[in-house]
A and B are shown apart, each in its own frame.
Chain A
Amino acid sequence: MENWTQRIFLKAALCITGLLTLGSAQAEEGEDRPLIAPDVRPQQVDEALIDTENFEIGAFFGVMNIEDFESSATYGARVAYHLDESLFLEANIGFAEGGETSFEKLAGNVQLLSDEDREYTYYNVAFGYNILPGEAFFKVPFVDQHYTVNTNFYLLAGAGATDFAGDNRFTGVFGGGYQMIVKDFIALHISVREHLYDIDVLGETKTSFNTEVRGGLSFFF
């Protein structure tokens, strides 16, 4: 009798220990990792994971001073491609509207140009050079906190065309601007550009100087 009960308990004990060892063996397989994981560094450098941001796209608003035809609000778009840390290429397209000449105002009921011809559209392509890169430092008032943003002062020269007063004219452009890189992918711009073209609408041919002052926002991608 005793033997029989002993056998039952022994069998049960064996079964339990067997299960336990099996279980623990399975648990060990799952806990192969050490308690403190070492710093795992990616083995290879995958260049596709490094985002390149050489292009810049943005919109601008400003004032265009059209010689003989008053000043007008202007707006448009700008795309830039950065060739290296200093040099970039940019393309601009902009729209403005010519006002009245002083002759039209004084003479009263005279219209030199039709409304359609007063629409001032221009495009240009320019080379830009970041001549003075730097940093701007901002202190938040009342709080002991400050921000530093990268800036660039750049010069521009280029050419394009201006569609105004019935014709499309070859236009030279030069100017300068200031860029503030607020975030790595956002920049604010302020720039002044001079547009030059030959025009013969007021009798004799002359070179027209048109100054554009504008501010804009752009995104790198």
Chain B
Amino acid sequence: MTVLVKHRGLLGLALLLWVCSTHLRADWWWQDDSPPAPQPQVQVAEPFTQWRSGPGSMYPVIHSSERGEWLTLHSRKTSWIKVSDDAGREGWVHVDDVLLTKDGRGRLVQLEAPRFDDFRTRRWEAGLMMGEFDSTAVNAGYAGYWLTEQLSVELWGSQILGSASEILMANVNLLHQPFSNWRVSPFFTLGFGHIFVKPKATLAQSEDRDDSTAHVGLGLRYYVTERYFLRMEVKDYKVFTSRESNEEATEWKIGLSVFF
């Protein structure tokens, strides 16, 4: 945190530059001379397709296109695609409805629509979790890569904020899910890491220390919808201290993850 405070000016500048660069790429404030590639177009194949005023099912229906009409696809927000027709009208159509339209060759349109099938075939996932580490609050984030449908490697960062100390923890672990085609999929995990303990400023005679750790755990992944799933897990940590005895801690967490 203190590092962030010291460099917050730099952080702000970096953020600004990044925002600028993303919009320069989109030719926001000057025109690109080269002609843009034509946006994809689809033909309505169902009796009609409904348009909404915004990217959500709770926005009002503003228009319907009949069978045979052509729609131009512009941009996408979550599961909604911004379309326009030959008359210049603009609106939003759900991706499930776009999947029922046909392309110039008369074939059904293929677009990415994350489904339960993708839950076990996608390679990358990332998530944020909260819980308790040895009855102290913990915030954690992770990213994982699936080597096979059953086995993945994960990298974790956790922050444990207790009344006596602040602990930062980094872990690498292997995760195995035996039933990858289940919607609620149990898993086992095994890994190692490092722990950095920073005692509270109000405590006298405190010093920072860091130790290696190893852990085992088990948990559940529960596919909800689209590209996200719930994840809960319990891990048992062994902390290899430099003192006479090692320490043990139990941690439970629950959170939301996304696959890519």
Please indicate whether A and B come from the same complex rather than being unrelated chains.
yes
Chain A contacts to B: CB under 8 angstroms? 39, 41-47, 49-54, 57, 59, 77, 81-87, 89, 93, 95, 119, 121, 123, 125, 127, 130, 133-135, 148, 150, 159-161, 163, 166-170, 181, 184-185, 198, 200, 205, 219-221
- List B residues at the A interface (Cβ < 8 Å): 1-2, 4-5, 8, 11-12, 15, 18-19, 22-23, 26, 37-43, 53-60, 70, 73-82, 103-105, 109-112, 128, 130, 136-137, 139, 141, 159, 161, 163, 166, 200-202, 225-228, 256, 258
Q: Which residues of B contact A83 (CB under 8 A)?
A: 78, 226-228, 256, 258
Within the complex, which residue of B4, B141, B166, B200 is in contact with A93, where a contact is CB–CB below 8 Å? B4
Main secondary structure of the interface of B (DSSP, over half): mixed
Chain A to chain B contacts (Cβ below 8 Å), 10 pairs: A41-B104, A45-B40, A53-B77, A93-B4, A135-B60, A160-B139, A166-B201, A167-B201, A200-B202, A219-B22
Give the dominant DSSP class at A's interface: strand
Is A148 in contact with B201, judged by CB distance below 8 angstroms? no
Instruction: Give every chain B residue within 8 A of A59 (Cβ-Cβ).
Output: 12, 15
A125 touches B166 (CB 8 A): no
Q: Which of A43, A52, A125, A219 has a CB less than 8 Å from the CB of B139?
A: A125
> Contacts of B56 on A, CB cut-off 8 Å?
85-86, 130, 133
CB-CB under 8 A for A49 and B39, given A81-B258, A168-B166, A221-B22:
yes
- Give Cα distance in the complex from A182 to B201, angstroms: 46
Say whether A50 contacts B75, CB under 8 Å.
Answer: yes
A159 touches B166 (CB 8 A): no
**Assembly CA distance A184 to B58 (angstroms):** 17
- Whether the Cβ atoms of B60 and A95 lie closer than 8 Å is no
Instruction: Report if A45-B226 is in contact (Cβ < 8 Å); known contacts: A50-B40, A168-B161.
Output: no
- Closest B residue to A77 by beta carbon equals B15
**What distance in Å separates the Cβ of B177 from its nearest Cβ neighbour in chain A?**
22
7 cross-chain pairs, A with B, having the tightest CB-CB distances, nearest first? A170-B161, A85-B56, A166-B201, A43-B104, A150-B54, A163-B1, A170-B137
How far apart are the CA atoms of A161 and B168 in the complex, in Å? Answer: 12
Enumerate chain A residues within 8 angstroms of B43, measured Cβ to Cβ: 41
- Asked if A121 meets B4 with Cβ closer than 8 Å, knowing A82-B78, A184-B75, the reply is yes
Chain A contacts of B136 at CB under 8 A?
Answer: 170
